[in-house]
Chains A and B, each alone.
Chain A
Amino acid sequence: MRIVLADDEALVRDGLARLLEDTGIEVVGRCANATALTRAVDSWLPDVAIIDIRMPPTHTDEGLIAAQEIRRRHPHVGVLVLSHHLESGYAMRLLNETPERAGYLLKERVSDVAILLDTLHRITEGECVVDPTIVARLMARRRAQGPLDELTEREHEVLALIAEGRSNQAICAALYLSPKTVEGHIRQIFLKLGLHDSPQHHRRVLAVLTFLRAP
Chain B
Amino acid sequence: MTAPHSVARAGVATAGAALGIASVLVARRHPDVSLAGDAPWASVAQLLAGLGLVAAGLAHWARRPASRSGPLLAAAGLAWFLVEANDPEVGSSLIFTAGLVLFAACPALLAHAALAYSHGRLRSRVEVVAVALGYAVGVGVVGLLAAALYDPRAQGCLDCPANLVHLGGSPGADHASERLGLWLVLGWAIIAVALLAWRIARASEARRRLTAPVLAPAAVYLALVAGDAAHGIGRGFQSNDPTDRRLWAAQTVALVAAALGTRWDRLRSVRMRRELARLVVELGAAPPSGGVRDALARALGEPDLILVYRGGETDWIDGAGTPVALPQTSAVTQLTANGELLAAIGHRPGTLEDPGLVEEIARAARPALEHERLQAQVRAQLAELRASRARIVAAADAERRRLEHDLHDGAQQRIVALALDLRLARRHVTREAPALDGELATAEEDLRLAVAELREVARGIHPAMLEHSGLAAALLALAEEAPRLVVGELPQDRLAPAAESAAYHLVAEILRRAPGGRVEVRGRLRSGWLVLDVKSEGGQPDSLIDLEDRIGALDGRLTVERTGQRGTLRAELPCG
Contact A59 B409 (CB under 8 A): yes
Output the nearest chain A residue to B484 by Cβ-Cβ distance.
A142
Shortest Cβ gap from A211 to chain B (Å): 13
Residue B490, interface by CB 8 Å: no
Instruction: Scan A71-98; emit 1 where CB is below 8 A from any B CB, else 0.
Output: 0000000000000111111100000000
Shortest Cβ gap from A88 to chain B (Å): 6
Residue B358, interface by CB 8 Å: no
Provide the bound-state CA to CA distance between A18 and B484, in Å.
44
The stretch of A25-33, A105-113, A154-162 in contact with B is A105-113
* Other-chain contact of A111, B448, B452, B467, B483 (Cβ < 8 Å): B448
Would you mind naming 18 contact pairs between A and B with Cβ atoms under 8 Å apart? A12-B413, A15-B416, A16-B420, A19-B427, A22-B427, A60-B467, A84-B408, A86-B477, A87-B477, A87-B480, A89-B469, A89-B473, A107-B412, A112-B423, A112-B448, A137-B480, A142-B483, A142-B484
Residue B417, interface by CB 8 Å: yes
Shortest Cβ gap from B407 to chain A (Å): 9
Extra contacts besides A89-B477, A111-B416 (17): CB < 8 Å: A9-B417, A11-B417, A15-B420, A15-B424, A18-B420, A22-B424, A59-B408, A60-B464, A85-B459, A86-B459, A106-B451, A108-B419, A108-B447, A110-B419, A111-B419, A111-B420, A138-B480
Contact A111 B423 (CB under 8 A): yes
Provide the bound-state CA to CA distance between A59 and B458, in Å.
14
Which residues does chain A contribute within 8 Å of B447, judged by CB atoms? 108, 111
Residue B422, interface by CB 8 Å: yes
Q: Is the interface of B mostly helix, strand, loop or mixed?
A: helix
Output the nearest chain A residue to B420 by Cβ-Cβ distance.
A15
Output the nearest chain A residue to B408 by Cβ-Cβ distance.
A84
Provide the bound-state CA to CA distance between A109 and B459, in Å.
18
Shortest Cβ gap from B7 to chain A (Å): 88
Residue B444, interface by CB 8 Å: yes
Which residues does chain A contribute within 8 Å of B408, judged by CB atoms? 54, 59, 84
* Other-chain contact of A141, B417, B459, B479 (Cβ < 8 Å): B479
Output the nearest chain A residue to B467 by Cβ-Cβ distance.
A60
Shortest Cβ gap from A16 to chain B (Å): 6
* Other-chain contact of A142, B412, B458, B486 (Cβ < 8 Å): B486
Contacting residues of chain A (1-58) with chain B, CB-CB under 8 angstroms: 8-9, 11-12, 15-16, 18-19, 22, 54
Instruction: Scan B423-457; emit 1 where CB is below 8 A from any A CB, else 0.
Output: 11001000000000000000010011001100100
Which residues does chain B contribute within 8 Å of A9, judged by CB atoms? 409, 413, 416-417
Q: Which of B415, B423, B444 has the most CB of A within 10 A?
A: B423
Provide the bound-state CA to CA distance between A26 and B464, in Å.
33
Contact B409 A19 (CB under 8 A): no
Contacting residues of chain B (479-511) with chain A, CB-CB under 8 angstroms: 479-481, 483-484, 486
Residue A61, interface by CB 8 Å: yes
Which residues does chain B contribute within 8 Å of A16, judged by CB atoms? 420
Which residues does chain A contribute within 8 Å of B421, judged by CB atoms? 15
The 7 closest A-B pairs by CB, nearest first: A15-B420, A11-B417, A87-B477, A111-B419, A108-B451, A9-B413, A111-B423
Contact A88 B416 (CB under 8 A): no
Instruction: Scan B106-140; emit 1 where CB is below 8 A from any A CB, else 0.
Output: 00000000000000000000000000000000000
B residues apposed to A, CB below 8 Å: 405, 408-409, 412-417, 419-424, 427, 444, 447-448, 451-452, 455, 458-459, 463-465, 467-469, 473, 476-477, 479-481, 483-484, 486
Which residues does chain B contribute within 8 Å of A138, judged by CB atoms? 480
Output the nearest chain A residue to B465 by Cβ-Cβ distance.
A87
Provide the bound-state CA to CA distance between A18 and B455, in Å.
25
Provide the bound-state CA to CA distance between A138 and B483, in Å.
10
Q: Which of A8, A60, A85, A106 has the most CB of B within 10 A?
A: A85
Contact A12 B481 (CB under 8 A): no
Which residues does chain B contribute within 8 Å of A87, judged by CB atoms? 463, 465, 473, 477, 480
Q: Which of B414, B419, B447, B484 has the most CB of A within 10 A?
A: B419
Provide the bound-state CA to CA distance between A137 and B476, in Å.
12
Contact B467 A89 (CB under 8 A): no
